[in-house]
Amino acid sequence: MSEELGNIALREAAKNGASYADIRIGEIFDENLTVKNGVPEEVNVLQSRGFGVRVIVKGGWGFAGSVELSREEAKEVARRAVKIATASSKLKKKAAKMVPAETRKAKYSTPMKKDPFKIPVEDKIEVLMQAERTLAKQSSLIKTSQAHFRAFRENKFFLSTEGAEVTQQIMWCGGGMSCVALRNGEAQRRSYPSSFRGNCGTSGYEFFESLKIVEHAKDTGREAVKLLDAEKCPPKETDLILYGDQLALQIHESCGHPTELDRALGTEADYAGTSFLTPDNLGKLRYGSKHVNIVADATVRGGLGTFGYDDEGTPARQVHLIKEGLFVGYQTSRETAAELGLRKSSGGMRADSPLALPIIRMTNINLLPGGWKAEDIIEDTRGGVLMLTNRSWSIDDRRLNFQFGTEIAWEIKNGSRGKMIKYPTYTGITPQFWGSCDAVSKDDWMMWGTPNCGKGVPGQVMYVGHGCSTARFRKVRVGLIR
Amino acid sequence: MVRELLLEIAEKTVKLASKERIDQAQANAFIRDTALTRYANSQIHQNVASKAGGVALKVVKNKRIGTLRINSLEDEQIQRAVKNVVKIAKVTPPNKDFRSLPQPQKWTPIKGVFDKETADCSPDYRAQRVREIIETAHSKSPKVKAVAGSFFTGSMAFAISNSLGVSAWAELSLASVATTVISRAGRSQGFGSWEQHSRCVKNLDAVAVASQAAEKSVQSVKPSRVPPGEYEVVLSPLAVSTFLDFLGYIGFSATPYQDGESFIKYHLNKQVFDEKLTVKDDARDPKSLFTMPVDGEGVPKRETQLIEKGVVSEGSICYDSLTAGREKKQSTGHAAPPFLGWGYFRPLPINMIASPSDSSLEEMIADTQHGIFVTRFHYTNPVEPTKAILTGLTRDGTFLIEKGEMSKPVMNLRYTDSMLSALRSIPLVGKELQCLQETTVPAVKLEKLRFTGITEY
């Protein structure tokens, strides 16, 4: 059906004047389970399918999508896309041009051991119930406790007038838990393994099992309660050590987004913003210290942004963004790569559904491991703060001034963890911050998944990954809450 | 008619589910038919349309709840979905908080909220308006270098049916235009933005939006640094809208209230904001954008007083049937409609209207000795919800006000402040309301807002 439908749409588009056309036909299964305060708050399944046709007519782009998978609708949607592209062509300074296609016929599916959709729902809920119960019973001060599971499967078929024919199945799953301890109007939250519903990776159910959430519930609950009695993060300039779960979001916001070439070229200026990493800085701007090596890598096993081919049919690859502190690369599409004079796309075009237009999205943006052991970084620090687990985030529209808050921190004094600190926050300017990075560990390097990255108009939500470990930054301003 | 088709599908789905020996069933059939023309660097670069539809199903058996959503209106898919959602409910443990799906209540449709011309708007029409925006912006000054934005048109409808007899629908058209203009002088850039929203595309004034954005953009090149600290601020409606949106999310929603994370929980019946601040949520008020007669569960929409002369109360909290059942209350009609999509997973006020007063923007500026004018905020997020502390940055036109006049553009600033402090003293409230998606708000002047950092542009 897919191939036939795809060919019908592409023929119709070409017949009506499209010089290029592609179609993505897809089906998504998305299972969300949440247990909160002893009851299953969310047992929700989303099943969606549809297709989207993207065309170029007289140098202008057009896109149309529909949920109705029929031959007639395929023709109708193709004609609609052509009509839209024709309108675009009337207000286009230069014709759309892309670097050459790299893929003809290909297949990919996420490697996995256990299909998460074949595990009975009741078994998954039972794990969540156990974890949630354990969290709740740590203290009567814990007023909210919850545990989550999510599994996602996307089957997609890509066909283009250039001869590409790509079939993929992307599978990911994960979960986590959190609780809130409340006393006199003060709320302290702890999450495991990370905030915002935990951690996810492209994998089977074995990934969720590896999180061992029930085993970690006791410590998670107790930490939330202890935070109520902790000291507030004092305002000062100090050395900052970030654990991977917080560093992942720091990478996401201050390196992932500004190295998206559409932002740098101004096409996201109206919403997400632009980027301080403009093309004239490529290969020249010192983004960070020599310890900072960051790649976009859609090939790393288990990463939430791992796949076989992007939504333009470009094969997954690794691209250096920052090399020994120097800004050296962008995340691109075929069109933006051509605009910059590059030979290849980085393979970053992704859409959150068949009905959405692919745009440049992060794959896995990874800070490569350094030479330290995480514990050695702490032992090497005379005075500082170790922060874990994101609680709040904000960054300006060129990705320079950022401010993050975390759930918990520890004072570091003479090479050892000292007292627990609550309301930790830190702020900085991106290149100065990364320029102050003087240690990156290797022993605790792992992948963190961000399943909710928002971008674009109309808004799209994408699943992306970040590989990182513990790292240290010198003289950072902390303690912004009065 | 779309709504009749959707109602037929919803009722048929409930009948199908009811045959499966369940206690209660609900089906919400929806269609979202939208198109958007996006432009940047003064040309169209994305131009899209999509027609999405589906059914959101909920079934209950012995307090065991299953929910399933399919993006299809086809019979075969719906039949399969009914079987699947019943299976899900059967293996789900009981939810003791569940009392009942909503009982049917009398509701009346709202006339005049669907405009066929808007729903059927052509790509050529949108392209023509975009051309006007780009040409208008560039005509304002040779400093204008790039125009970006989006022009959106479309329609949305849903029909809700449940096994207790609820049968209702909502249908509306929507149009919006947003523009960001970038100017340059030497190596310095200036930004300005503006937007308009309406249920009728003909009400959008593309030229006015372009003019406003271009003017701000040109004025904001070569910004100066001002030190962070507490300043008087004059907030445009766009900036006010951000504060109110977040108060709705972290404060007025029943979910954070029940979790103990809403600031309202700790300030009931107290003068928490300035008495000049009065905000209601009213989906039947035509000043609101998402005008609709019922919520996503078919509960009739009615006015909810969120802030009454600066005071919040238990009546400020927005419930759907599940959160209301938890407190043995009735839903206030704040279940999210299915077409709003991602992010609307808790009961929320999406029709917030602030009461205007009698000040003009010029009067607010004239009344300010040493302050900051904010066009809009960027990337605001809660830092500490129980204290309503937010952080974010200014964007697209930030100016220093000295001795009653806008004296010069300044580099964007980061604020980190509690809304309980920032909105405690509001010397002036604007007389004109602007409709901005979930909020309809005037400009306001605040006695102080705490800026904690500065950007480099």
Over residues B130-170, the pLDDT tens digits come to 999 999 999 999 999 999 999 999 999 999 999 999 999 99
Among B residues 294-353, those touching chain A with beta carbons less than 8 Å apart = 342
Residue B343: band (very low, low, confident or very high) from pLDDT cuts 50, 70, 90? low
B186, B217, B248 — which closes off a domain? B217
Q: Are B235 and B417 in contact (CB under 8 A)?
A: no
Three-class DSSP category at A172: strand
DSSP, res B79: H
pLDDT at B337 over 70: yes
CA distances from A33 to A128, A175, B24, B92 (A): 8, 9, 21, 10
Predicted pLDDT at B398: 98
DSSP B371-426: EEEEEEEEEEEEEEGGGTEEEEEEEEEEEEEETTEEEEEB--EEEEEEHHHHTT--
Interchain CB distance below 8 Å, A396 and B182? no
Distance from CA of B49 to the nearest CA of A (A): 5
Interchain CB distance below 8 Å, B51 and A52? no
DSSP A11-30: HHHHHTT-SEEEEEEEEEEE
Residues B272, A190: Cα–Cα separation, whole Å: 29
DSSP, res A308: S
Q: For residue B443, with 0-12 CB atoms within 10 Å meaning exposed, 13-18 middle and 19 or more buried, which class applies?
A: buried
pLDDT at B341 over 80: no
Among B residues 210-249, those touching chain A with beta carbons less than 8 Å apart = none
Residues B29, B50: Cα–Cα separation, whole Å: 17
Residues B73, B6: Cα–Cα separation, whole Å: 9
DSSP A403-429: EEEEEEEEEEETTEEEEEEES-EEEEE
| Same domain (yes/no): B381, B244 | yes
Can you give the residue range of the structural domain that contains B336? 225-457
DSSP B294-320: B-TTSPBP--EEEEBTTB--GGG-B--
| Same domain (yes/no): B199, B232 | no
Interchain CB distance below 8 Å, A427 and B414? yes
Q: Which of A126, A133, A170, A180 is nearest to A149 (CA)?
A: A126
Predicted pLDDT at B373: 98
| Same domain (yes/no): B104, B71 | yes
Over residues B179-234, the pLDDT tens digits come to 999 999 999 999 999 999 999 999 999 999 999 999 999 999 999 999 999 999 99
Over residues A80-117, the pLDDT tens digits come to 999 999 999 999 999 999 999 998 899 999 999 999 99
| Same domain (yes/no): B185, B276 | no
Q: Within a 13 Å sphere around the CA of A94, how many CA atoms are in the beta-carbon half?
A: 7
Amino acid at A195: S
Other C-beta atoms within 10 Å of B186: how many?
7
| Same domain (yes/no): B64, B199 | yes
Distance from CA of B357 to the nearest CA of A (A): 30
| Same domain (yes/no): B157, B275 | no
| Same domain (yes/no): B306, B425 | yes
Q: Which of A196, A190, A212 is nearest to A136 (CA)?
A: A190
Name the residue in chain B with its Cα closest to that of A429. Answer: B455
B187, B217, B247 — which closes off a domain? B217
| Same domain (yes/no): B339, B280 | yes
Predicted pLDDT at B344: 59
Cβ of residue B82 closer than 8 Å to a chain A Cβ: no
| Same domain (yes/no): B442, B405 | yes
Residues B453, A147: Cα–Cα separation, whole Å: 36
The CATH number linked to B144 is 3.30.2290.10
Residues A64, B154: Cα–Cα separation, whole Å: 14
CATH code of the domain occupying A2-227: 3.30.2290.10
Residues B149, B127: Cα–Cα separation, whole Å: 12
User: Per-residue b/e over A216-248, b at no fewer than 16 CB within 10 Å?
Assistant: bbeebbbbbbbbbebeebeeeebbbbbbbbbbb
Long-range contacts of B125-129 (CB under 8 A, 24+ apart): B125/B153, B125/B201, B126/A87, B126/B35, B126/B37, B126/B47, B126/B151, B126/B153, B127/A87, B127/A88, B127/A90, B127/A91, B127/B37, B127/B44, B127/B47, B129/B177, B129/B204, B129/B206
Q: Are B17 and B327 in contact (CB under 8 A)?
A: no
Residue B1: band (very low, low, confident or very high) from pLDDT cuts 50, 70, 90? confident
Residues B200, B350: Cα–Cα separation, whole Å: 19
For B67, which of A43, A391, A397 is closest by C-beta distance? Answer: A43
Mean pLDDT in runs of 10 for chain A (482 residues)? Answer: 91 98 97 93 90 98 96 98 97 95 94 97 96 98 97 98 97 98 96 96 98 98 98 97 98 98 97 96 98 98 98 98 98 98 97 97 98 98 98 96 97 98 97 98 98 95 98 96 80
Looking at this predicted complex, what is its ipTM?
0.95
Predicted pLDDT at A1: 60
For A355, which of B37, B52, B96 is closest by C-beta distance? Answer: B52
Amino acid at B177: V
Interchain CB distance below 8 Å, A394 and B127? no
Interchain CB distance below 8 Å, A91 and B456? no
Q: Which of B31, B68, B28 is nearest to B294 (CA)?
A: B28
Interface test with B, best of A30, A33, A48, A67 (most B CBs within 10 A): A67
Domain boundaries, chain A: 2-227, 231-478
Most confident residue range from A431-440, B64-73, B336-345: A431-440
Q: Are A59 and A92 in contact (CB under 8 A)?
A: yes
Interchain CB distance below 8 Å, A67 and B412? no
Q: For residue A396, with 0-12 CB atoms within 10 Å meaning exposed, 13-18 middle and 19 or more buried, which class applies?
A: buried
Predicted pLDDT at B345: 76
Residues B284, B110: Cα–Cα separation, whole Å: 7
Task: Provide the domain count of chain B.
Answer: 2
Interface test with B, best of A24, A37, A42, A47 (most B CBs within 10 A): A47
Over residues B400-413, the pLDDT tens digits come to 999 999 999 999 99
B159, B189, B217 — which closes off a domain? B217
Calculate Rg over the CA atoms of chain B.
Answer: 24
Question: What predicted TM-score, i.e. pTM, was given to this entire model?
Answer: 0.96
For A394, which of B182, B379, B450 is closest by C-beta distance? Answer: B379
Distance from CA of A18 to the nearest CA of B (A): 15
| Same domain (yes/no): B260, B174 | no
